[in-house]
Amino acid sequence: MYKSTALCIFVTVLSFFIISGCNTGGGSGNIVLNGSIANFGQFGTFTVTVSEDNSRLDRTDTDSSGNFTLRFRSFTGNVTLKFESSTFNAERSNIRVTDDSTIVMNFTLQQNPVLIIINSWQVFQDPFFIRNDSEFTLNETLIDFIMDGNGGDCIISTGSSSAAIRVKSIDITDCREGVRTQDSGSVVMEADEGIILRANRDAVITLNDSFVEIGESSNPVNNSVLIESVNQFGINAAGSSTVIIDPQNNNCTISGGRMAVNISGTATVDTAGCTLSDG
């Protein structure tokens, strides 16, 4: 009798965890959202919930300073934040998220009309390697996108994979190689404001039939591009690959410890009116 009861409890508990796991996103990477409410004192303590497709991913209360932290996983890369207090209840959808990132956001909450205003939005993204036909997509004009390579490779796209980053600004630094594409891989980076790409070796290296484009968004605001290699090439294009640098008003600088731009094979590189600086 005891064994039967124990087994029943075990199955019940196991089933609970399986069901709970199915309702918590189950994505492939960890996402941390550190938020703060600029005017929290007007409302008191908030309960903040992050959800996706009507499934709750995480929930927490703000601390005494109006700060909160949510940890979750995402299937779709598109979540909703809900803010609840005794005098305020509203949500904001279409919050773009990516795996393996830490997001820092500051909000102002408004009554009459009810609004959730995003004052600042930073995404600290881990370096990533995509392959086969996988995709990395981040499209949000409020985001300052930041990546610290810590001396390793920053972005690699192989196979027929693709990365598209269209945001407010991009700052990718301390890379071994900055952006590497090969096979038919592609990387597109567009920003309203500045784009910075710094590497110890090649800042951009393209092989085979791959493609890289770096430049202004569809609505630029003082967009500029800085591509810098300490010891190698700012851009190193080989095979039949293509590189396009398209900043606003030709406002860009490409530098390399050896040479700003190196082209081999039938590769093509369009640097617009960029300033080229050889080492």
**Of 133, 257, 130, 245, nearest in space to 199 by CA:** 257
Evaluate if residue 200 carries a pLDDT over 70.
yes
Write down the pLDDT at residue 95: 98
Q: What is the pLDDT of residue 9?
A: 39
Give the tens place of pLDDT for each residue, 125-158.
Answer: 999 999 999 999 999 999 999 999 999 999 999 9
Mention every residue, 6+ apart, whose C-beta is less than 8 A from residue 149. 127, 172, 173, 174, 175, 176, 178, 199
pLDDT for the residue numbered 279: 83
State pLDDT tens for residues 72-125: 999 999 999 999 999 999 999 999 999 999 999 999 999 999 999 999 999 999
- Measured CA to CA, the distance from residue 177 to residue 156 in angstroms comes to 9
